[in-house]
Amino acid sequence: MNNIVEKLNFSVDIEELRDYYNTVKTDFDHLLWSWERCGDTVVKQWRDAAYADPANLLTYGWAIQSNLKDITIPCPPWNISTHEITEYRNTELAFGIIEKLQKEIPHAYRWSISVQPPGGIVSVHSDQEDEYTVWIPIQSDGVVITFVTPEKTSGFSLESNGSAYLLDTTIPHHTHNFGNTDRVSIIFRINHKYVNELKRKVLSYLPVDIPVDLPSEQQIVNWFDNHKVEDTEYWEYKENRHTWAIVAARKNLDNWRKIDFDLWNTRRNLQENPELYFHPGFEEQFPSLVSAIKQLPFKQITYAGMLSQMGAIAAHQDTYDENNPLEPRRYNIYLTDPAYNTFYMCKEKNSEKVFPQIDNTYRCFAFNNTEVWHGAEPTHRTKIMIAITGIIDDDANQKLVSRSLEKFKDKALYL
Ligand SMILES: [Fe+2]
Ligand SMILES: [Fe+2]
């Protein structure tokens, strides 16, 4: 890890997490572990260390996963019990949001809920060498954890808004609740070797479950050449990125071979009773593309165009979408032979370029436009895609994404 504490690039629904915690408090008192109730079953070394400062005895919690042979008795949220132990397994506390998170993060283990009441302390210690710790705070205020390195002592505040934090707990650390409310957190461990996987949690690219009966590449190229935008006064052309051919618009354009900048500039404004018009002749020639476009999860499509790549396109993010739909939110249809794909995605502007696997049959794809970057390497043959813009329908989008994830698990790209 580069930093002692890193905010992870996924978050959880904090309300759902709080509901979970409330249910645990009311219904699972029989699994609550505290020094008061269970202090007599703690190994001597930890017992002595804890009793040296009674503020240590305030912290309590629930082991969502227990390493005790008997998972029906309270297990300490730390590995300090004198009871017979085995590997960590789920207790009856692994339900709801935890169950969902466990599916998303299969290599995490030792899940627990830790509660540190006001005044509570966990004295300085360091955790197992090959593991990191993840905290998802449920309630927090002020400095939550303090790390001590030979150079300095650094306290970290971790927000309880659904954020998840990766902590390098191999570095000595201690906690002290100086606040007035219980500090509550979901805590789990993850082996160092799975940390990249944990960080690669943004769904960046996904083939979409809308079949396209694809015309031949030659038909596409011919149509493009005969219908492309004739003026060259648009920035994508001037910057040698791509040329446009307009496929569809929400108004019947006077001139389909000219960019309608008014329409373009208002493409994300919802309009009453819009219709979708296609470039004259397009529907007759490419009914399957029309059908695919109409199945995309938009409340309204405002503009769709074929783009033919010119030069290299540096890694970028597209213009801000003021409707801020859920990701992945950008829809394209790859038309020419994907064996020659030049489209790549990258986590950061200058990080490693990853070329998505374009499905040969399912050419519609969705990609993430805010948390990752995209660009294109130079192409040595004609490469044409359709880009579709408008106002995304979040519900329909999430449904389509879920359905597509089921179908294209292996081709989904997480960065
Ligand atoms: Fe620790
Ligand atoms: Fe782009």
Q: If you measure from the C-alpha of residue 207 to the centroid of ligand 2, how many angstroms do you get, rounded to a whole number?
A: 17
Give 301's strand partners: 390
Q: What structural domains and CATH numbers belong to the chain?
A: 5-198 (2.60.120.330), 203-414 (2.60.120)
263 Cα to the center of ligand 2, angstroms:
19
Distance 361 CA to ligand 2 centre (A): 23
How far away, in angstroms, is 109 Cα from ligand 2 center?
38
**Residues in the chain where the model's pLDDT stays below 50:** none
Ligand 1 centroid to residue 122 C-alpha, Å: 8
The environment of the single-atom ion ligand 1, i.e. residues with CB closer than 5 A, is: 127, 169
Nearest bound ligand to the CA of residue 332: 2
The per-residue pLDDT for 89 is: 96
Token pair of 405, please? 């994830």
> How far, in Å, is the centroid of ligand 1 from the Cα of 169?
6
Looking at the CA of 185, name the nearest ligand: 1
Q: Residue for token digits 């999430």?
A: 398
CA distances from 53 to 123, 167, 169, 174, 242 (A): 8, 25, 21, 13, 68
Cα of 373 to ligand 2 centre, how many Å? Answer: 8
Ligand nearest to the CA of 147: 1
Q: Are 61 and 77 in contact (CB under 8 A)?
A: yes
CA of 133 to the centre of ligand 1 (A): 8
Give ion ligand 2 contacts, CB < 5 A: 318
- Residue 264, both tokens: 């373009």
| Span from the CA of 73 to the centroid of ligand 1 (angstroms) | 23
Ligand with an atom nearest the CA of residue 313: 2
Q: How far is the CA of 372 from the centre of ligand 1 (A)?
A: 32
